[in-house]
Structure 1
Amino acid sequence: MKHFGKSLSGALLALAFVLPARAADNSLMMATTTSTQDSGLLEYLQPAFKQETGIDLKWVAVGTGKALEIAKNCDADVLLVHAPAVEKKFVEDGHGIDRRQIMYNDFIIVGPKADPAKVAGKTTADAFKGIYGAKAGFVSRGDKSGTHVKEMALWKEANLSPDKEPFYISAGQGMMATLAIAAEKGAYAMTDRGTWIKFANKQGDANPLTIIVEGDKPLFNQYSVITTNPAQCPKVKKDLARKFEDWWVKPETQKRIADYKLEGKQLFFPNAGK
C-alpha cells in the first residue's frame, strides 16, 4: 500500500504541473492598436470569443508600428492593426501570414470649435495646407501607430513637412492622450472615429474640440488581423491563431462588430472578405 500511495502522490503531483501547462497552451497573445481598446471593442467581444473558441485572449494595446515590432520579436501570436501599407510589407518580408481584412471606420480631423485655421468642411489636403499656413497648433501621435503613419502620408500628399515646425507637437502617446493634449492646447489633431466617439462621450459638454473634416476618401481606415509567421517564430500557436482569424471573419462576429455602438453611434463597420 505504501508503494501505491507513493505512486498516486507522484501522479497527482505530475498532473498538477500538466494542467497549468495545458491551460497556458489555450491562451493567445495579441498585439493590437490602442483604438480597439480605447473604443471598448475588445472588452465587448472578448466574452463571446472565449465562449465560442475556449481561447483566453490576452493583448497589449500600442501603436501599430510597435505592435508589428512585438510580433517580429516573437512576443505575440496574432495582430489586429490598421496600417495596410505597413502590414503588407510586414507580410512580404516574411514576418506575418494570412492577413485578412475584418472591419473599417474612418479618420477625422478635429480641432477647436473656433477653427482658427478656417478649414472646416475642406478636403483633407486643403485642411492640412490651411493649418500649416496659419501655423495653427497640431498634435500628432508621433508614435509610428497606424494613425501616425496615415497622418504623415497625408501631409506628404499635401506636399508639406510639418515635423520641425514650432506649431507641430509630437505627443509620442496613444490616441486618447493625444486628444487630451489637443483639447488642452486648443489644437487640431487627426484621430480614428471610434476613439473620438469615446473621447467626446467622456468630455461631454466640456469638450473644446469638434469635428472639422470628415468623409473625405483619403480618411478611410481599414483594420486587419495577421498571424505571426511560425516559420520565424516557432512558438507561435498557429492552430489557435487560425481559430482567432476564422472567428473574426465569421458572420456572427461581423454582426457583433456592426452592432457595437456608443451613444447610439456605430464605431466600426464589418468588411471581411472584401
Structure 2
Amino acid sequence: MKKTIFTILAFLLLVLSAWPSFAGDRLLLASTTSTQNSGLLDWLMPRFEDDTGIKIHVIAVGTGAALEYGKRGDTDLVMVHAKSLELELLKEGWFVERRDVMYNDFVIIGPKSDPAGVKGSSSAADAFRKINGARGTFVSRGDNSGTHMREIKLWKQAGLNPAGSKWYMEVGQGMFKTQRVASEKQAYTILDRGTWLSKMDMLDLDILFEGDPPLF
C-alpha cells in the first residue's frame, strides 16, 4: 500500500472566545483549503469522533475568510496559517487561545521544462524575479489566504508587484483548483507541500524550488 507522509508545517489552532455552535456533540471548524486538500482532516476527524463522540463540520476556506468566520463567532475553532495576523487578532481579543499544532512549508512548482529557469535560484525571491523576467505565466490564488499572503510577501521581497501583468493570473480559488489551473496552463505557482504531496500525481508540474527560509 502506498503511503503518503505529510510534513505539515505552520498551521495554527485558534480557540474562539465564544462557542456559539457547540452543543456537546458538534463542533464547527473553519480550516484552510490547504489542510482540507492534504487529506489530513479526512484521516483525523473519524478518529476524533470515535474517541469523543463529537462530530466536526469543516468549512474549508482561505485563511482570511476563516479568521473572519471566527471574528463573527460563526465557528468554534479556526485552523489557519498566518502567524503574524493570528497574534494580532489574539492581542485584540478576538480569540482567547492559540496553539501550534503542526507545520508546513511552501514550494514553488512549475512546468517540467522550466522556461524561466527557476531551478537553481539562490532564493525564493530570486525565483520570483526569474519568473517576472521571463514573463512566465504565474497563477495566484488571489483569495487573501495564508498562501496568497505568503506569495505577496515574496513578491515584495523580490522588489516586484506583478498585479495587472498579462502573465499574472489571479483565480480567486483554493489551492487544489489553483494548482490544477497552473498545470493546465503550464504555469508557475506557490503552494504548501502537504497539498502537493496529496495531489502531485494529478499534475503535470514539478517542484522547482524549495527549502529557502522564507518558505517556512
Pairwise TM-score range, normalised by the shorter structure: 0.7 to 0.9
Partner residue, 1:103: 102
Shift in Å, 1:109: 0.2
Partner residue, 1:229: none
Cα deviations across residues 68-120 of structure 1 (Å, max 9, x unaligned)?
A: 01111111011111111111112122111211111112100000011111111
Contact (CA 8 Å) 2:34, 2:175: kept in 1 or not? yes
Cα deviations across residues 155-176 of structure 1 (Å, max 9, x unaligned)?
A: 1111111112111100100001
Alignment partners' CA distance in 2, 1:190 and 1:158? 15
Partner residue, 2:24: 25
Unaligned runs of 5+ in 1: 1-22, 221-274
Partner residue, 1:148: 148
Task: Look at both structures and tell me which one has the larger radius of gyration over its CA atoms.
Answer: 1
SS state of the match for residue 57, structure 2? strand
Alignment partners' CA distance in 2, 1:155 and 1:85? 18
TM-score between the two structures when normalised by the length of structure 2: 0.86
Alignment partners' CA distance in 2, 1:59 and 1:217? 31
Larger proportion of helix: 1
Contact (CA 8 Å) 2:115, 2:136: kept in 1 or not? yes
Partner residue, 1:14: none
TM-score between the two structures when normalised by the length of structure 1: 0.69
Shift in Å, 1:24: 4.2
Partner residue, 2:211: 215
Contact (CA 8 Å) 1:136, 1:167: kept in 2 or not? yes
Contact (CA 8 Å) 1:121, 1:214: kept in 2 or not? no
Alignment partners' CA distance in 2, 1:115 and 1:143? 26
Answering whether residue 181 of structure 2 is matched by residue 194 of structure 1, we say: no
Q: Residues 6-17 of structure 1: matches in 2 within 5 Å?
A: none
Partner residue, 2:173: 173
Partner residue, 2:87: 88
Partner residue, 1:127: 127
Alignment partners' CA distance in 2, 1:68 and 1:199? 26
The aligned amino acid for 1:52 is D
Contact (CA 8 Å) 2:30, 2:78: kept in 1 or not? yes
Give the aligned CA root-mean-square deviation in angstroms.
1.3
Alignment partners' CA distance in 2, 1:104 and 1:180? 23
Unaligned runs of 5+ in 2: 1-21
Q: Residues 205-244 of structure 1: matches in 2 within 5 Å?
A: 207-220=203-216
Alignment partners' CA distance in 2, 1:217 and 1:158? 14
Partner residue, 2:75: 76
Cα deviations across residues 191-227 of structure 1 (Å, max 9, x unaligned)?
A: 00111112213x1xxx32110101111111xxxxxxx
Alignment partners' CA distance in 2, 1:27 and 1:121? 48
* Runs of 4 or more above 3 Å deviation: none
Partner residue, 2:49: 50
Alignment partners' CA distance in 2, 1:25 and 1:101? 24
The aligned amino acid for 1:137 is T
